[in-house]
Structure 1
């Protein structure tokens, strides 16, 4: 799916993988790879690659999208020992690789990159059988990207958190799959509170546990007066 919004082009490539091209040609990828979403993809045009947490750390995916001189941001809690997948240790990635926490505020290339907390509430529905959150606090982040005044927010794998609604967001990438993240109802409530220029749902329908009714999500937002795109080009607000 391709969306044009303000002076940015956004391509949702499946699962949590998003490509954003800014007004000056800078290309950013968010959480590239996993579950075959990049099997037939080899653009290798990414100037900046952002990895939110261990579940989205896919070094084959990074290699498919990143330029040789790319900057790669990886959350500080990501470690190859935390997954049974065959991945390259972060320290061995052949890029300008930087560790980030959930309080980054920096200019990288011509994009202002901020990070936000991303986790599941300990007393919420997204916990393991032993009661621990699927995404504990401190193990991941979201990314708030400012492209020359247009802000794009990928929440990361998270529940709705205190402070989300106060963020100044033009384009919201909302996970709607539930099970591991907010579901479509919670995402719709957040979108209404944020009042962005456009919402694009992601992180759904890749596998059974995150199947979601995207049409119902869009209808819900339509009744609230919040613009949403599922499968078509969209212009300025």
Structure 2
């Protein structure tokens, strides 16, 4: 399985069979390069412009933007309801956490989660291997809440997203405030936008990808 970070909350997951999944595509207001690669399916956590720009993607992908359990060409997809804020969605609305099963790995994308997961939500998400989590705060959980969330969900691989970079137009925190919660030997700064995951590590690692 290959995991590529286009930027912000947009990841491309490519299975060994070549099926391509894209999460939360952004539009050109965000600052990252346009997503130019055709994909087979897209998950959308919520309808904000920096997460739902399906209409500007190339091709004609299948789009999942609701809760439930789905199957697409052997890929299992599960979407569970959460919120974009700490007020039950009253401030920024609902958010869908998507988990996809690819090549035997369970990859969980938290979208713009705005609160710590409670026991009911943890149970709905279930066991996961790879966690894609926002860490920048302001519009999502912040670095401390993201750290607490990783402790709760306990994945083998943690990939931070939705943080300040030199091209992002949003005023949110950088990734270092999140990675500082972990021992240096646990943090891997990849220096590339893509990693190839063939097996899970023996010990939990944080993989900081570079945007495409």
Quote how far apart the aligned CAs of 1:229 are: 4.3
Structure 1 runs not aligned, ≥5 long: 1-7, 75-99
Greater percentage in helix: 1
Larger RCO: Structure 1 or Structure 2 (Cα < 8 Å, ≥ 6 residues apart)? 2
Aligned residues: 184
Q: Which residue of 2 aligns with 1:176?
A: 135
2:178 to 188, 199, 217: 217
Partner of 1:202: 161
1:49 aligned onto 2:4: no
Equivalent residues in 2 for 1:116-195, closer than 5 Å: 116-119=80-83, 120-122=85-87, 132-134=90-92, 136=93, 139-158=94-113, 159-163=115-119, 164-166=121-123, 167-195=126-154
TM-aligned CA deviation for residue 116 of structure 1: 1.5
Please tell me whether residue 28 in structure 1 is matched to residue 24 in structure 2.
Answer: no
Which of 1 and 2 has greater Rg? 1
- Where 1:210 maps in the other structure, the secondary structure is coil
Q: Is the 8 A contact 1:16 1:32 kept in 2?
A: yes
The whole-number CA distance in structure 1 between the counterparts of 2:76 and 2:187 is 24
Q: Deviations over 1:53-88 (max 9, x none)?
A: 111221344x23xx33x21112xxxxxxxxxxxxxx
> What TM-score results when the alignment is normalised by the length of structure 1?
0.69
Could you tell me how far apart the structure 2 residues matched to 1:234 and 1:110 are? 20
Q: 2:97, 2:108 within 8 Å by CA — same for their partners in 1?
A: yes
Q: What are structure 2's unaligned runs of at least 5 residues?
A: 202-212
Equivalent pair of 1:171/1:197 in contact (CA under 8 Å): yes
> Partners in 2 of 1:188 and 1:179 — Cα distance?
15
Instruction: Give distance in 1, aligned partners of 2:106 and 2:187.
Output: 16
Q: Deviations over 1:28-57 (max 9, x none)?
A: 000112214243x4211x111111111122
Distance 1:229 1:109, change over 3 A: farther
Q: Name the CA distance, whole Å, in 2 between partners of 1:117 and 1:161.
A: 11
Are 2:53 and 1:58 aligned? yes
* 1:105 and 2:69 correspond: yes
Partner of 1:107, secondary structure, is strand
Tell me which residue corresponds to 2:210.
none
> CA RMSD of the aligned region, Å?
2.4
* Secondary structure of 2:171's aligned partner: helix
Shift of 1:210: 1.8
Give the secondary-structure state (helix, strand or coil) at the position aligned to 1:116.
strand
